[in-house]
Amino acid sequence: MRHLLKLLFFTVFTCCAVSFFMACGEASESSVGRLSPLFKFVTKSTLKEKSFDSLTVVALNTVRGDSIIIDNQKTVTSANLPLSYVDTITALVFKYSKDTIDTVWVTHTNTEHFISMDRGVAMFYHINKVEHTKHLIDSIAIVNSEVNINEKENIRIYY
């Protein structure tokens, strides 16, 4: 009887431990995909969210050429926009209408982070500097320079 209780306790303990570690691994792995900084759009005079009737965002000079990230989306107030894995400067073109565009250049440091054998490596970024044209954009602030699994706002664009 004593051995049976020990075996039962050992089995329950092992199952709980394995479940706990698997759940922890799944939570951290599921939150890691392609990490992208969160851009928020704000009206400078009111500090309220800025919404666009139409917004298209194109990443320039990617590995596959220019890539459309957002295509004519309505009522956009924020967006996760990817940074380059291979370069340290990412150029993003914001097209608001047929004739009105702004370009944003994000200078960043890329750091690979090992996630797991199954998921491989994720790229974390440190945003060093942001420059932009001034057709509609008034200014840009780096709110959080670290792009990782924390999913916080990184860049605020004032219009």
pLDDT in tens, 4-25: 444 444 444 444 333 333 333 4
Look at residue 14 in the predicted model and tell me its pLDDT. 43
Residue 45 has pLDDT above 60, yes or no: yes
* Same domain, yes or no: 81 and 119: yes
Look at residue 1 in the predicted model and tell me its pLDDT. 52
Torsions phi, psi for 97 (to 5 deg): -155, -175
Question: Where does the pLDDT of residue 3 fall: very low under 50, low under 70, confident under 90, or very high at 90 and above?
Answer: very low
Who's near 40: CB < 8 A, 6+ residues apart? 49, 77, 78, 143, 153, 155, 156, 157
CA distances from 110 to 11, 83, 95, 126 (A): 44, 9, 27, 7
* Same domain, yes or no: 25 and 75: no
Residue 81 has pLDDT above 90, yes or no: yes
Question: Where does the pLDDT of residue 115 fall: very low under 50, low under 70, confident under 90, or very high at 90 and above?
Answer: confident
Look at residue 151 in the predicted model and tell me its pLDDT. 85
Are the beta carbons of 90 and 105 closer than 8 angstroms? Answer: yes
pTM of the model: 0.75
Question: Where does the pLDDT of residue 82 fall: very low under 50, low under 70, confident under 90, or very high at 90 and above?
Answer: very high
* Same domain, yes or no: 83 and 44: yes
Look at residue 2 in the predicted model and tell me its pLDDT. 52
Look at residue 103 in the predicted model and tell me its pLDDT. 98
Q: CB burial class (10 A; 0-12, 13-18, 19+) of residue 69?
A: middle
Are the beta carbons of 74 and 51 closer than 8 angstroms? Answer: no
* Same domain, yes or no: 20 and 45: no
Are the beta carbons of 124 and 148 closer than 8 angstroms? Answer: yes
If one counts the domains in the chain, the total is 2
Pairing of strands 38-42, 153-158: parallel
* Same domain, yes or no: 7 and 64: no
Look at residue 119 in the predicted model and tell me its pLDDT. 82
* Same domain, yes or no: 73 and 3: no
* Same domain, yes or no: 66 and 104: yes
* Same domain, yes or no: 91 and 151: yes
- Neighbour count for residue 78 (Cβ, 10 Å): 17
Residue 110 has pLDDT above 90, yes or no: yes
Q: Taking phi first (over 0 means left), then psi (-120 to 50 degrees means alpha), and beta for anything else, what does residue 80 get?
A: beta
* Same domain, yes or no: 69 and 140: yes
* Same domain, yes or no: 13 and 61: no
Q: Which domain does 130 fall in, by range?
A: 35-158
* Same domain, yes or no: 81 and 142: yes
* Same domain, yes or no: 77 and 137: yes
